[in-house]
Chain A
């Protein structure tokens, strides 16, 4: 999120695409409704469903699932055709604009209508609305990412904001809403297979950096791997880990996966869950660490599983990061009950049993404060170093001194600080950066240019043009010693740069010169290291439009994507729609969260939403002879099938089926109630929607494509 939830209060218009904030982020709605009411800001909702957020919209645009990139490129094209783009912003702070514009040109309103189903006049109208009401706050969520072109779709959102000049401005920005309060923190710690914490990657230098932070011998870490190459190679992802066990797609690893630890992760959020389940029985060992028994506890049939009850958020303390990059301190309310232990204790015991606790606890004497300090000292890439436990706790004690509109403390002990010291917070004196890429403020006061990450200049293969990647002359934060673009700081301490200098001298020198440690560059419209240098539309892997598959085909198959063969082209079968005629999309309901283990175990939430259901348009239901409340079978091309109640509603159109994904405890028509530990059966059980979500993964990130699959529906 470049801005913050509170900053949406300053938006002059808002566009939500692939986000149902009214259900997924209800607390954020106060700011959204504030902008709508006080600024008279249009609230544009683009979604395949008429969601509860759409009910609050001024403008609702129904879009065919998986075609967001086409719509965005269409908007960009209309904006450029009419000269509505922010020419000065593009001239000074954007790279690759002409190359991008040449691609966008193909997405005429007519072409967009053909792909997305959005009337041509509507694309023009929305483009004008955005041009007339700047700045726009743009929000997307999983509806934007969970596609095989998810990484392209999200880039089109960013490019739209660049073209309109809405980046680095209060009321603008790309505001991706994350889930509960530590989803952003988990992301920043890169609890992922392709990077060490704080986005350092897996290169030798990255390992050496973190070894210095942890005070662990690099050679010893290296010796823990079978061979050095595995240290630097991306691991399996959450989306496809089970292929490492069942190997239906070929894996590129010297051994299958033998053990699984699922820690605070609902199993049924994995797509094609019926295949995931196959892996459980083939594993030697499963360890489930959670306050509630998840679907994994019920779906694993063999006696190879251990359940470790972990404490809830009320039974532990520590720092957490919110969607607005704000770090807060959570205090313990009660000691852990029911024999559970908090995550720190479980991790420490685990590491002790492995026999290397002495190596990793050198800097950690006081839990959790020392953990926050250690991760901050290492996470220089994103400026986590200024948020000491002391400062965070002082803010917690002085909430009332912060302004709701600016998030800045007025007077009091935190005077001048922004709430949560939003990262990057470069030093222990820095107030935090409330808006990324905002050059209206000095860097030391929370301003920030665009990072210089991709060299000083580049020659585009698409056009042959060479462009300087640094910001234009005259453009920098106030007080900068260089008025214009400049590269990242390095060799202030010889042999280091701003992100590996643990003394943090480099950062301090940069700030004292009024400059950002990471340079002052341009935001890229062309990503030359991606398969689509400029994002384009590609038909969903399982598309209902065989004619469009020909015109907008997917990528080539990837033999080794995160260690597993991943099909693209060979999976895109134009005939599939004949047997699976309806588009399947999934999403959230406000009463349940994530995989639902916690909320379905709350009797009041279970009372409100006790049943799994499929949303079907009344017209389609009547054609299929299905009445409201009747049971139906939903079947996927991969052989997944679920028996659920039909909920007739016009939220979906008559080609689309919607499933919430929070339910578990049933499996393809059978109840797994007996499999839960005694006394711990959730109040609400139901079929996991993810049993029928389809094959398909993003080309870059391998996130699962759960929003644009195909299915068939039959009366049960």
Chain B
């Protein structure tokens, strides 16, 4: 079965945050919770690059491994989801995640963390599909509608891609071919030291 992935093409990402706002607006994510973020390095200097990052839906997800209550699980298509009714908000997944994907609402009494929230690949959650409860807890279920996640759908420069890993890898591979090795393909100078 196909496994889904995100891929952000750094040559295309212009740090417009369209993906971030599409995600928040479309899923009504509270202010302060960032299912997706754009990270910029070398800001204002030659070599400035931006990349849009969310949950990577890892093949072997460390968050699943460390979760003490088994609230996090992976679907057959590779999408990693959390069951908010089981999650105890301990934050282990946050420590384990290399990308800072798990988010915790901070407005509970005594500063306690609420249930973990993260990118769902716009696939809703473990309640009845298209139900009001699903929308409230997890946001939209575009995958069930046969659509790509909002962030990728919104991306103006087609930097952010989402879908079947084989297909998006192929699209990216073609882009790299087309740019040519001399056209500043990312990593070229490092790989070949200017040769």
Contacts and interface: CB of A to CB of B under 8 A. Distances in A.
Nearest to B49: A55
A58 B21 contact: no
Contact of B178 (A37, A591, A602, A604): A37
Interface residues of A, number: 30
B16 to A, nearest CB: 4
Interface stretch (A20-28, A302-310, A435-443, A452-460): A20-28
Interface in A603-652: 603-605, 607-608, 649-652
Contacts of A22: 14-16
Interface stretch (B130-138, B162-170, B179-187): B179-187
A472 to B, nearest CB: 40
A15 to B, nearest CB: 18
A663 interface: no
B16 A590 contact: yes
B156 A608 contact: no
Interface string A185-224: 0000000000000000000000000000000000000000
B14 A26 contact: yes
A33 B12 contact: yes
B46 interface: yes
B36 to A, nearest CB: 11
Nearest to B20: A608
B156 A23 contact: no
A37 B174 CA distance: 11
B14 A50 contact: no
Nearest to A652: B44
A603 B30 CA distance: 9
Given A38-B178, A56-B14, A58-B184, A26 B157 contact: yes
B105 interface: no
Contact of B156 (A30, A40, A605, A649): A30
B11 interface: yes
A608 B158 contact: no
A53 B95 CA distance: 35
B32 A607 contact: yes
A60 interface: yes
A124 interface: no
B175 interface: yes
Main secondary structure of the interface of B (DSSP, over half): loop
Contacts of A608: 17, 20-21
B11 A37 contact: yes
B18, B157, B158, most chain A CB atoms within 10 A? B157
Contacts of B178: 37-38
Given A605-B21, A608-B17, A26 B31 contact: no
Contact of B31 (A58, A603, A651): A603
Nearest to A618: B44
A26, A27, A649, A651, most chain B CB atoms within 10 A? A26
B45 interface: yes
B48 interface: yes
A52 interface: yes
Contacts of B183: 37, 40
B24 interface: yes
Contact of B44 (A37, A38, A50, A53): A50
A26 B49 contact: no
B16 A23 contact: yes
A52 B24 contact: no
A590 B21 contact: no
B76 interface: no
B44 A650 contact: yes
B43 interface: yes
A483 interface: no
A649 B44 CA distance: 6
Contacts of A509: none
B157 A604 contact: no
13 contacts: A22-B16, A23-B16, A26-B14, A29-B156, A33-B12, A33-B157, A37-B178, A37-B179, A40-B179, A55-B49, A55-B50, A58-B184, A608-B20
Interface of B: 11-12, 14-18, 20-21, 24-25, 31-32, 43-46, 48-50, 156-158, 175, 178-180, 183-184
Given A608-B17, A608-B20, A650-B44, 12 more contacts: A22-B14, A22-B16, A30-B156, A50-B44, A50-B46, A55-B50, A60-B46, A602-B21, A604-B25, A607-B31, A608-B21, A649-B43
